[in-house]
Amino acid sequence: MNTQLFSGKINANAYFKDVFFKHSWETISESIYSKNSEDVLAALAKENTLTLEDFKALISPAAAPFLELMAQKSAAITRKRFGNTIQMYVPLYLSNECQNICTYCGFSFTNKIPRITLSDEQIIEEAKIIKKMGFDHVLLVTGEANQTVGTPYLKHSIQLLKPYFSNISIEVQPLEQSEYEDLRREGLHAVLVYQETYNEEHYKIHHPKGKKSNFEYRLNTPDRLAAAGIHKIGLGVLIGLEDWRTDSFFTALHLSYLEKKYWKTKYSISFPRLRPFSGGLEPKVIMNDRELLQLICAYRIYNEQVELSLSTRESAKFRDNVVKLGITAISAGSKTNPGGYTNAEENLKQFEISDERSAPEIAVLLKQLNLEPVWKDWDNGISGIG
C-alpha cells in the first residue's frame, strides 16, 4: 500500500475517491496497530515533513507512552506557527429540519421532535445576542432539508448576517460546486463537512436513508469546495462511530491529498466525540481523554499549518488544558438548538454540550493562560472577490 502517495504527483482530473478507493480499511487498520515504539520515536525525531506512515505511528497504541513528549512538541510547534492566540467562533443553528436518518444525531428524520427553521426576524435576534457575547466569527448549522434550508435559504441567511459578522462559515449538507461559488460571492468564508466515517460499509448502516446515504458524493465534497474557491475547508469524523485511529488516518490522507491538489485552500480539522442526546446511539468505540490528546498532538506534529478546532462538546477541564497544546480555535457559550440564544428552552438540541461557561468567562481564562482570544481575523468582503 502506497501511503507515501503525496511525495508523488496528483492527476489534475483526480477526485479524492480515486485516491481513497486504493486503500483498504482493514489493511490500514492492521498497519496502524502494528507500529512500534521505534516507529514513534523516529517520527518524533524528524526535522523534515512527516509522512503518513509517521502519522500512523503517532496515532497508534504504541505512541501512548510518549504522550508527554508529543504534547511538548505539539505545543512548541503550535506556538511558533500560530503564536499565543486562539480564534473564537460560535455556532448558530438555523434549522433542525432534516430528511436524513443518521443513527447518532438528534436531528435525525425519525426523531419525534418539533422542527424549527428560523425566520428572518429570529435570525437577526440570534445574531444580536451572539454579537453581545463578543463573537465576530459565526458558524451556521442546519440539517438537510433542501425544500426549506437549501441554497436559497443559506444565501439569504448570509445576506442577513453579513452586516453583523466578519467571518461566516457553514456546516450544512453537501452542495454542488456552483452553489458553493454562489454562497462564496455572498461572503461565505469556510465550509465544514465531516465524512462522519471513512468506513464505507458502516457509513451505510449509520446513514440508511436520505441524500446523506451517498458516501461517494460526500467524499468528493471537499474537492467541489476547493474548486469553488472557498477559502477554508473543515474536515473530520465523528469519533465513536468506528475505530478512531483508522478513521483519523483517512482524515489525514484526505487532508494531504487536498493540500497538494488545492494549494491555495486552508484546512481545519475537528474531532467531535459522539455525545449523548435524547434516545441516541451509544458510541461503539470510546475514546478517552488521553487518546483525544494523542490525536490532537499527532495532527499538529504531522501538519504544522492545519487549524485544529475544539468545541464545547468537551469538558471544561479538558479544554482548559489542551488549549495550549495544539488547538487553534474554540467555540464558547454554544447552543445547539435553533433559537437557542434567544430562548432558554433546553429541548431540540442536536447534542448535549459539556463546557457551559460563557464566552467572557472563557476569554478571561485564556488571558490567564497568556493566550489572546482573537475575535476577528477576516473581513467577509474578501470572500466575495474573484
Cβ atoms of 263 and 305 closer than 8 Å: no
Residue 260 C-beta: closest distance to other proteins, Å: 10
- CB closer to other proteins out of 84 and 315: 84
Instruction: Concatenate the DSSP letters of all residues of 89-108 into one string.
Output: EEEEE-B-----B-TT-TT-
- CB closer to other proteins out of 74 and 96: 74
CA distances from 57 to 24, 36, 249, 270 (A): 18, 7, 10, 20
Burial class (CB in 10 A: 0-12, 13-18, 19+), 29: middle
Residue 88 C-beta: closest distance to other proteins, Å: 13
DSSP letter at 6?
G
Q: Smallest Cα–Cα separation from 334: which of 158, 154, 138?
A: 138
- CB closer to other proteins out of 114 and 163: 163
The residues of the shown chain that bind other proteins, judged by CB under 8 A, are: 79-85, 136, 166, 231, 259, 263-267, 305, 367, 370-372, 374-379, 381-382, 385-386
Residue 104 C-beta: closest distance to other proteins, Å: 32
Residue 367 C-beta: closest distance to other proteins, Å: 7
Cβ atoms of 32 and 53 closer than 8 Å: no
Q: 3-state DSSP call for residue 60?
A: coil
Distance (Å, whole) CA 69 – CA 44: 8
Residue 220 C-beta: closest distance to other proteins, Å: 22
- CB closer to other proteins out of 153 and 262: 262
What lies within 8 Å, CB to CB, of 84 at 6+ separation is 370, 371, 372
Distance (Å, whole) CA 35 – CA 336: 39
- CB closer to other proteins out of 207 and 254: 254
- CB closer to other proteins out of 84 and 159: 84
Residue 84 C-beta: closest distance to other proteins, Å: 3
Distance (Å, whole) CA 119 – CA 127: 12
Residue 372 C-beta: closest distance to other proteins, Å: 5
Cβ atoms of 168 and 188 closer than 8 Å: yes
